[in-house]
Amino acid sequence: MLNEQLQLYIEDLIPERDSLLLEMERFAELHHVPIMELTGIEAMLQLLRIQRSRKILEIGTAIGYSALRMASAIPEVQIVTIERDIERLQLAKQYIQRSKHSDRIILIEGDALEVEELVRPHAPFDAVFIDAAKGQYKKFFELYAKLLQDHGMIITDNVLFKGLVAQPDIPVKRTRNLVEKITGFNNWLMNHPDFDTVILPVGDGVAVSKKRGE
């Protein structure tokens, strides 16, 4: 990951978002809603533009910030996004209704591991974006990789988890367990027979996995 000075330098160069997105960024900061870091999301949006994604599945809507960023960045893209926290889902609904993109975002309420049947009719997807409970990444990946288009990619956020994946001694047991899950996922992903993966050290660490052989 970049040092703080460079991180701030890049963030300063990123064009200002529209007023609704800025309001959401402020809300997230004030209410401790974990939305994707700016440099991470910009990298992801650029990959989605290059891929010319038409349909994206997001696991982990929170208040709808990344869904709206994707909808704003890519004309005509359709987004299906899953959230299990009812309060956050309501906020996402309100923000999305206030945007110009409400007809292109479908919200699905529930645990991503339990709503595959509701998601399947919208498949196949050009991209799947995993940004939910970190301990479940492998399960999300295995479940929703099946709904990917032949040329599809899966983007997974937080794979470097504030740099903790490379830290030898983590004193807090709960954090240590979570780090072990993420490093386990990273090792599994990097050796996956059906995907080529690169880990980008932007934001909180973004893994980009492209289906092989297409």
Ligand X SMILES: C[S@@+](CC[C@H](N)C(=O)[O-])C[C@H]1O[C@@H](n2cnc3c(N)ncnc32)[C@H](O)[C@@H]1O
Decide: is 154 part of the binding site for ligand X (CB under 6 A): no
Decide: is 131 part of the binding site for ligand X (CB under 6 A): yes
Displacement of CA 110 from its chain's centroid (Å): 17
Least CB distance from residue 169 to ligand X, whole Å?
Answer: 26
DSSP H or E run through 50: helix 38-51
Exactly one of 17, 49, 54, 88 binds ligand X (CB under 6 A); that residue is: 88
Summarize the chain as % helix, strand, coil (round to 5): 50, 20, 30
> Please, what is the angle between helix 65-73 and helix 86-98, to 10°?
30
Q: Which is nearer to ligand X, 51 or 136 (CB)?
A: 136
Decide: is 105 part of the binding site for ligand X (CB under 6 A): no
Exactly one of 70, 96, 112, 159 binds ligand X (CB under 6 A); that residue is: 112
- Report whether 115 contacts 61 (CB < 8 A): no
Q: Which is nearer to ligand X, 117 or 169 (CB)?
A: 117
Exactly one of 42, 83, 126, 204 binds ligand X (CB under 6 A); that residue is: 83
